[in-house]
A and B are shown apart, each in its own frame.
Chain A
Amino acid sequence: MIRVKNIDKSFSGKMVLENVSVTFEPGKTNLIIGRSGSGKTVLLKSIVGLHNIDSGEIWFEDVLFNKLDFTEKKEIRKQMGMLFQGSALFDSMTTEQNVRFPLDMFTNQSMEEKIERVNFCLKRVDILNANRLFPAELSGGMKKRVAIARAIALNPKYLFCDEPNSGLDPITAILIDELIKEITDEYSMTTIVNTHDMNSVMEIGEKVVFINEGKICWEGSNNEILKSDNEILNDFVFANALAKQLRSSQ
């Protein structure tokens, strides 16, 4: 379980997160949704420790993460996997080397064992015969899959995804969403996904947190989101023409 308690974060005096408190449930796909610039990415990066918060608490189970020093944080971080918006694969490494990197860094496995694990992870995300390709030779969807493979290489307890389907076509986006959900269920991970894609919300949003102007505005499940009477949330959920038509037809 990941708990965020009363966190504030500002940049150059501008408040980006204000008194944010939320609990992300274990073994579930938790979604943070909101408009661009609402503070989703800052919240996610604050949770994983890439941004230092101004005040508040971030708990991973019973460990107060934001008070740990770099070395202590490292132990928790070894249990984290993260999928970045632009995949963040290492340009100078092949697909295989990218997925093998955490294993090289943090395990004492033999090369055969590492290759076996790499191939397992790549097969799990449906990437075949691409071990020797460099990131520049992969499509956007393949990059995301390889990044997921790298994120799960060390069997993490927590998976963080920042806009996992941005820049992807709708079909590939759904495939990536399904993959995240399947992996979350398979390994009983606590997954937090940042998105503004309503398809993702409806597909995989077991718990959904809506953030607006740096504040938590609504919490619930994907089944509850369409029935909410929160006006700001409804403006976001029914923003496009198709959703508006569906709502009026109901």
Chain B
Amino acid sequence: MIAPGKTLRDRKELLLAQPFWRLVSHFGMRLFSGTGDSGEGGLGLSVSAILAMLAAPGAFIAILLFDKYSSLLRWLRGNQAFDPYAASLPDQYFFLTFSMVITGIVTVLKWDSIFPDRRDYMNLAPLPIATRRIFLANITAIVLIALAFAIDVNCVSSILFPLEVTMEQPRFFFYVQFAGAHFVGVMLASLFIFLALFALIGTLMVLLPDSAFRRISIYLRIFIVMLLLGLLTSTFAVPQLLRTLGSDPHSILRWLPPVWFLGLLRSLVGKADAALAQLGRLGWQAVIGVGVLAPAAYIASYYRYFIRIPETIDTTLRNRAPRTVLPIAWMDQLVLHSPFEQATYRFTIKTLLRSERHSLLFGAFAGLGLVLAFETLASAFSAASAPGDPPNVELLSAPFVLAYFVICGLRFVFDIPAELRANWVHQAILHHEQREPAALAGKVILTFILPWVVVCLPLYVRAWGWSIGAGHVAVLTAACSLLAKLLLHRFHKIPFTCTYPTWKQSATVMILLYVLGFWGFAFLLPGLERSLIMRTPLFLWILSALLLLAGVVLRRFLAVEVVDTSLIFEEKSPSPFEILNLSGR
């Protein structure tokens, strides 16, 4: 019993003095903290920072929508015939999808922390706590955090967006009704995706042997992230297509969960047509279905997995001969020139493929690239063209889109440390003035680009003939090489071995540069390509030669300004003061 007059802090301490709530708090903390032994698993963000980051996009978009719904602005634009309820449909679809995608991605990122692991077992099992209490505490923590995330992601938009839509309504009731429906809709959408992923993890853990589950887990997570990102990109197209929903009983839109919740939400405000209302009922059923399936799968997997942890520790010694698809001996002779490059190349590729954090992050980048590349291809094929026409810009830009995300994704994950405490081996063996890390990182990047570019070559040649197909591949390869060189400027570290860079200071500028770079690389360059093809395909070879030349010039030019080329293992933030030494002494 908590006495009146206690402060919130006292109440919290009293609650946490109880073993059950202490456990709940512990499981909650795990979700936000790194799981590595050195505590490097997390990005070092506080809970409040994570919550603020998740809440920001929804709030920002809700604010931007004032422009659309403001009666004053509409009056100034002369747009009088405006039905805010009808106009809110695409925005509702966006908020629902956004809510699902954020919840889904957070769940996928924290996939491993959802279930108690070996560390929990070794710490908790010897203590006098019943297994079912550990289970209940874990599920309580998960449910509370899932609710907190869902509320956090949707809270600002649930207040602002309904305010914008109902600002011209005569009664406050309309606001309450719309806001209530919006909140219920987005919360249920979040809950659905969370429970669905939870059920999926639990079911796979029950059905698959532990080693098989671990093997497929990473690929599955990347695939789910790709699906979610694909869902997010659908927000531009789906609302326009919803008009056809009633007339097409087999529409693919009926399979999209955000459409079910849009139906549910619109039904709650009484603005759904028959087709949407029917899908709204499906939304309710889906939530109930995963609501039943998720706890059942969780209980089964918990008892199958957690209880057996000590046995799996003793029996999971895997001793499999290594398999490699890379012709490594051939590469050692032709591409990797020094012992440093040979050793570090192997280390980088293996870390990238085996470290879950790195492969997941890279997979997310590549997945987003793949989704956008497919969308670009889809729009390319939907555009009318006659046989013999030169390829349109979209068709040319699809591989550039994918390559941009692959290269930027790799450059991003190179900065994420793997196991800093293991760096002593590099520091003990390597020479401080090692000058090859950027070249090595460039070769790793090209390993992930060249194979699929080469595979695409016969397709291009078949579709457009030798001169255009091979020219396009040459431009793509040269552009990728140039982009990699640009991104690896001042790269003086072995990938994954340096502390986190100080992103905070230049994050906004960097994001802007990356967006501009994307536009230039993925759209401007293919546009230029097309105009050159229209004149003569030979120009493609000149363009690729120019791009390669630019790379060489850039390397020479940038090498002049780089004074210190020592290998670094710790990123230091730039000093706020700098001595200019104008006297030259």
Q: Tell me, yes or no, whether A binds B.
A: no
Q: Residues on B close to A: CB < 8 A?
A: none
Q: Residues on A close to B: CB < 8 A?
A: none
